Amino acid sequence: MAEQKQHKAGFVSIIGKPNVGKSTLMNALVGERLSIITSKAQTTRHRIFGIISGDDFQVVYSDTPGILKPQYELHKSMMDYVNSSLEDADLVLFVTDLYEKIEPEDPALERLRKSNVPVIFVMNKIDLNKGSQADDKISYWLEHINPDKVIKVSALEKENLEELFGSILEYLPEHPAYFPKEQLTDRPERFFGAEIIREKIFLNYKKEVPYSCEVAVTDFEEDDKIIRMRAEIYVERKSQRAILIGHKGAAIKKVGIEARKELEAFFMKQVYLETYVKVSDDWRKKERSLKNFGYDR
């Protein structure tokens, strides 16, 4: 009787502070564009699974919101996602970059110290490294944390990702696959539709407006040729609604055009998109509103 091949599977939580490249890293590791990527902090609000499988392995990555000190109920919900990802993790990737500094009573370090699983310290954005900058920054961090391994990568340029992936497999336990091998994520299609629209809002507006927006896809109908989507964009104040719509609707029209192009590339199908802008007063501070938008506490 032939010996059964060893199979590894586990949950890998990608954590770190805002804007260090966690979503870019997960997308690069999975090979699919599952998480929002912009140059602005706090764009990831949910915990998103990215799943990659082979004959003898399955890695379930968790892209999580950037760790911060909560100021709203929304922030509390975002940090709950971070905590839950640490609770069921088999391995933690703690991601930082060349520019991030350690703060007194750093909430990221506090969560890392509470983790009882192996930690790989990932120094991202080494494509921007000058001289000994990366090594100096790593030495600086190692005065405060004690990871099981240190790896330097560039998620954007896909540098050293094979080394990182090999290390991830080393730390995963023997276990059957948690999800069907062809599955790429735990989120439904309309979730990614909403995220793509929200990304275009982040890219087209400044200051507080993008952070005050939430997108809900209320209709998602698909046939062989086309996807028809209705998306409702919520803001907290009437003044934000006026900014979002723009003069004679020009601003929201631009968001719709860019989002539709991205949606068609993502779904590989023609997309008909309708957008509506509504006001939900102070939704970031209200638990009921957050629950309606799919944030679980």
pLDDT tens per residue, range 70-91: 566 665 665 666 666 677 889 9
The whole-model pTM stands at 0.73
Q: Tell which wins on pLDDT, 234 or 189.
A: 234
Give the type of residue at 287: E
Beta strands in 64-176 (DSSP E): 91-97, 119-124, 149-152
What average pLDDT score do residues 145-152 get? 92
- Residue 120 to residues 100, 105, 151, Cα–Cα distance (Å): 17, 21, 7
For β-strands 270-279 and 226-235, DSSP reports them as: parallel
Look at residues 147, 97, 102, 161 and name the one whose alpha carbon lies nearest to residue 126: 97
Residue 271 tokens, joined: 């997309």
Q: How many Cβ atoms sit within 10 Å of the Cβ of residue 250?
A: 9
- pLDDT at residue 1 is higher than 50: no
Q: Give the helix/strand (H/E) hosting 112.
A: helix 107-114
DSSP letter, residue 154: B
Which of the given ranges, 2-6, 206-210, 229-233, has the highest pLDDT on average?
229-233
pLDDT band, very low/low/confident/very high, at 258 (cuts 50, 70, 90): very high
Question: What is the pLDDT at residue 284?
Answer: 81
% pLDDT > 70, the chain: 83
Q: What is the pLDDT of residue 285?
A: 82
Please tell me the predicted confidence (pLDDT) of residue 85: 67
pLDDT for the residue 287: 81
Which has the higher per-residue pLDDT, 68 or 295?
A: 295
DSSP characters over 234-258: EESSHHHHHHHH-GGGHHHHHHHHH
pLDDT at 255 over 90: yes
Q: How far is 129 from 91, CA to CA, in rounded Å?
A: 27
User: What is the structure's pLDDT at 268?
Assistant: 86
Compare 134 and 82 and report the one with higher pLDDT.
134
Give the E-state strand segments of the chain in sequence order: 8-15, 48-54, 57-63, 91-97, 119-124, 149-152, 214-222, 226-235, 270-279
For residue 189, name the pLDDT band (cuts at 50, 70, 90): confident
Q: Tell me what the mean pLDDT of segment 5-12 comes to.
A: 90
How far is Cα 125 from Cα 155, in angstroms, rounded to an integer?
7
How many Å apart are CA 152 and CA 24, to the nearest integer? 15
Residue 2 confidence (pLDDT) above 70: no
Give 99's DSSP letter: S
Least confident of 38-47, 76-85, 89-98, 285-294: 38-47
Quick one: pLDDT at residue 203?
86
- pLDDT tops 90 at residue 40: no
| Contacts (Cβ under 8 Å, ≥6 apart) of 109 | 102, 144, 145
- 3-class SS shares of the chain: helix, strand, coil, % to 5: 40, 25, 40
**CA–CA distance, 28 with 49 (Å, rounded to integer):** 13
